[in-house]
Structure 1
């Protein structure tokens, strides 16, 4: 039977305000700052960071394998999408939302900027993130209270073949990674609006200092070379003096936001060796809520509007029916609109949706076979997006979401639903 829900789920907010990062992952960068170094096929990023165990300092080794490359923009989407997932009333590893909803909540589009290039950026970031394999020989497991050897991915996804579809995208988080992120003691809540205003290097320093300022008013002395290369992602070929200058500039940007107080305190330890300390700014005098407290609109409201429901009707539907049923039957309805046409409906898409979701809530209706077949074809097409680049012809151009989908359909691996829909 349908279960009632709190109307708070439909409260609107222009963008996500509180976000989270995983505490161990912010100890080091996932890729270099320079996209020319990291945005290449079969890129492998090796780094390390120090941690304390039994009152001794030890070193953790990290290997991030990125078959499709990785960039700082992907890092932005990783934390942003994870935060949207955890913002839901009952977070699960499967997050359903339209691309427009995700980009709107992350502040990437608004009434002046509506999709296009941003849609493509999100799709390409998802593709790269879905291929990443993360390995760490001393990852802190908050559930077991110990450091462990781990290997996990970040996410997988399923999206409509039609690039102009208004149907929801499915993002499924790796179960081990999501388990760590779901644990309150394993994530760092931070102000997403401030994070968005910063440049990539400042964002990484902001998150690290956010973690350190939990315990300290002034951070312990940090080796600037280790900070610059392992945490911020500067090239290891830079001289120590160059890294020192860049860190000073980042500190000034954070000081403007009151994240740190005063200037960075550099101390010379030996010839060519420097440490730095940062002091906590007034920014941390206010409490930052976890994403679960975000008052953002349900991601299911947008597909309901695409079907033809008004805001009041959307709220009533979200309050009355189970989220899973709303997601499923809104997707069936929109798939019918896009692939079967308006003539498919005896009355209207709205009537079709209401009739089916009401019966489904009583356990007397299941999704149609044609929709299940469509989902299988889309899953096959999405799976082929991750095929190794080495299998492509020697002179082939780099893959993108749209041209790979077109190739999959042309090859006959997926029966063509509508070739004109692949832009």
Structure 2
């Protein structure tokens, strides 16, 4: 999917950016109500790939989410990646106000009040994403052009202590993850407006098909269980007929948006080997080559400099003449000075203070004040304290007592239903982990007796 730069935002849709290996499987179960409150949630999944010898293999995926994870968080993950990579000089560090991010993602409009429910949801989603650890033993590395064992987090962040602060939020992408996203052959651009109109299950199928339909007219022949559970995130305990209904419903949603056409859903095999095969055809959404154009995205620094008091002409000059690193630093210092000391701190004005310091800093003759370093240290300490509290809450005192035996019993149950060894093991471990987190030891023992 080719990408070009476009200075006319009216010609381009709102874009999201997905990582090609991540769209192969669900990042969390679809039961967001459970996942959102489940501490130390571990989601196990898998996906198929072809190794360098042409042999089909199964990669095992483990996603640890100490704060839980919901399908809604994926919208912010793909949206923030797109905003970061749409900047003139994309880097792993992205600084912007929450108002800027939500406005660019069209969650709010330019007239919306700052703060409120959307801000809180965005901050909560950011916290959950920052706590995630992702592991995959068959992840395609587009830089080295081979499948590798990998482990990374998504992002880190630094936010002002005051919720009402006008200072920027600092989001720093994990170096390994961002390298995988930025590399040629490591990402795909997609229509975020279409994505937003879909339900979570349809969204995941939309991203996988966006990867497949870039090169092929028809999808592979998907197994119902693999597609519904591993890609879309439905529970592995769903009866086949119920899973089939839910997957059909998601496909119908994609048909409404012309993403797929002529779906073929047919039974295959008999007895224990009976399954359902699904094949989809590329819809009109992909009929012409979609040369997505990077929209002319307003720099997040523009909004911040406007807050300081610079006019449009001065903002453009600053963006043209000074590095974003210098601008980001002195924007934060200026806004922090205003919040800490008030307008009386500035001899002339906040805008004059900012311009003077940027000019000297660009020449190497001005460094940040000590009080600003002290403030940053306080913010780091506050974040570390919050992280320690999270780890303490996420510890499970009965960890390991019931899951191994329950996992083995479930494994045999899934094998009896006709699942492959790899799929049965993954589903058994995933369901056992959920039971371990949600039930007391007595309840786990009762479940085990019922299964036996």
Aligned partner of 1:69 in structure 2 is 68
Q: Residues 155 and 14 of structure 1: is their aligned pair in 2 closer, same or farther, counting only changes over 3 Å?
A: farther
SS of the residue 1:300 aligns to: helix
Q: Look at both structures and tell me which one has the larger radius of gyration over its CA atoms.
A: 2
Aligned partner of 1:408 in structure 2 is none
1:238 and 1:185 map into 2 onto residues whose CA distance is 35
CA contact (8 A) 1:32 1:233 kept: yes
1:269 and 1:382 map into 2 onto residues whose CA distance is 53
Which stretch has the larger CA shift, 103-112 or 58-67?
A: 103-112
Aligned partner of 2:211 in structure 1 is 211
1:207 and 1:393 map into 2 onto residues whose CA distance is 31
Aligned partner of 1:222 in structure 2 is 222
CA contact (8 A) 2:103 2:110 kept: no
State yes or no: 1:102 paired with 2:104: no
Aligned partner of 2:48 in structure 1 is 50
1:406-421 matches, within 5 Å, as none
Aligned partner of 1:173 in structure 2 is 173
RMSD: 2.2
Aligned partner of 2:366 in structure 1 is 365
CA contact (8 A) 1:97 1:168 kept: yes
2:58 and 2:194 map into 1 onto residues whose CA distance is 31
1:395-406 matches, within 5 Å, as none
| Count of aligned residue pairs for this structure pair | 385
Aligned partner of 1:267 in structure 2 is 266
SS of the residue 2:171 aligns to: strand
Q: Residues 73 and 297 of structure 1: is their aligned pair in 2 closer, same or farther, counting only changes over 3 Å?
A: same
CA contact (8 A) 2:16 2:189 kept: yes
Deviation of 1:9 (Å): 11
Aligned partner of 1:353 in structure 2 is 354
CA contact (8 A) 1:133 1:153 kept: yes
Deviation of 1:18 (Å): 2.3
1:286-301 matches, within 5 Å, as 286-289=288-291, 293-301=294-302
Aligned partner of 1:164 in structure 2 is 164
**Contiguous gaps of at least 5 residues in structure 1:** 1-7, 395-423
Aligned partner of 1:80 in structure 2 is 79
Which stretch has the larger CA shift, 379-388 or 294-303?
A: 379-388
1:130 and 1:254 map into 2 onto residues whose CA distance is 31
1:47 and 1:133 map into 2 onto residues whose CA distance is 14
CA contact (8 A) 1:23 1:188 kept: yes
1:313 and 1:379 map into 2 onto residues whose CA distance is 32
CA contact (8 A) 1:218 1:277 kept: yes
CA contact (8 A) 1:14 1:105 kept: no
2:390 and 2:11 map into 1 onto residues whose CA distance is 39
2:16 and 2:78 map into 1 onto residues whose CA distance is 7
* TM-score (ref. length: structure 2): 0.81
Deviation of 1:15 (Å): 9.7
CA contact (8 A) 2:66 2:391 kept: no
Question: Per-residue CA shift, 1:167-224, capped at 9, x if unaligned?
Answer: 1111111111111111021111111221122221111000001111123211121001
CA contact (8 A) 2:39 2:394 kept: no
Deviation of 1:297 (Å): 0.3
Deviation of 1:316 (Å): 2.4
State yes or no: 1:235 paired with 2:232: no
Q: Residues 76 and 349 of structure 1: is their aligned pair in 2 closer, same or farther, counting only changes over 3 Å?
A: same
Q: Residues 112 and 300 of structure 1: is their aligned pair in 2 closer, same or farther, counting only changes over 3 Å?
A: closer
Q: Residues 108 and 160 of structure 1: is their aligned pair in 2 closer, same or farther, counting only changes over 3 Å?
A: same
Q: Residues 129 and 11 of structure 1: is their aligned pair in 2 closer, same or farther, counting only changes over 3 Å?
A: same
State yes or no: 1:278 paired with 2:275: no
CA contact (8 A) 1:26 1:208 kept: yes
- Which of 17, 25, 35 aligns to 1:20? It is 17
Aligned partner of 1:258 in structure 2 is 258
1:46 and 1:164 map into 2 onto residues whose CA distance is 38
1:105 and 1:188 map into 2 onto residues whose CA distance is 19
State yes or no: 1:36 paired with 2:27: no
1:322-401 matches, within 5 Å, as 322-389=323-390, 391=392
**Contiguous gaps of at least 5 residues in structure 2:** 396-452
Deviation of 1:290 (Å): 5.7
Deviation of 1:317 (Å): 2.1
Deviation of 1:310 (Å): 2.6
Which stretch has the larger CA shift, 358-367 or 63-72?
A: 358-367
Deviation of 1:289 (Å): 4.6
2:151 and 2:134 map into 1 onto residues whose CA distance is 6
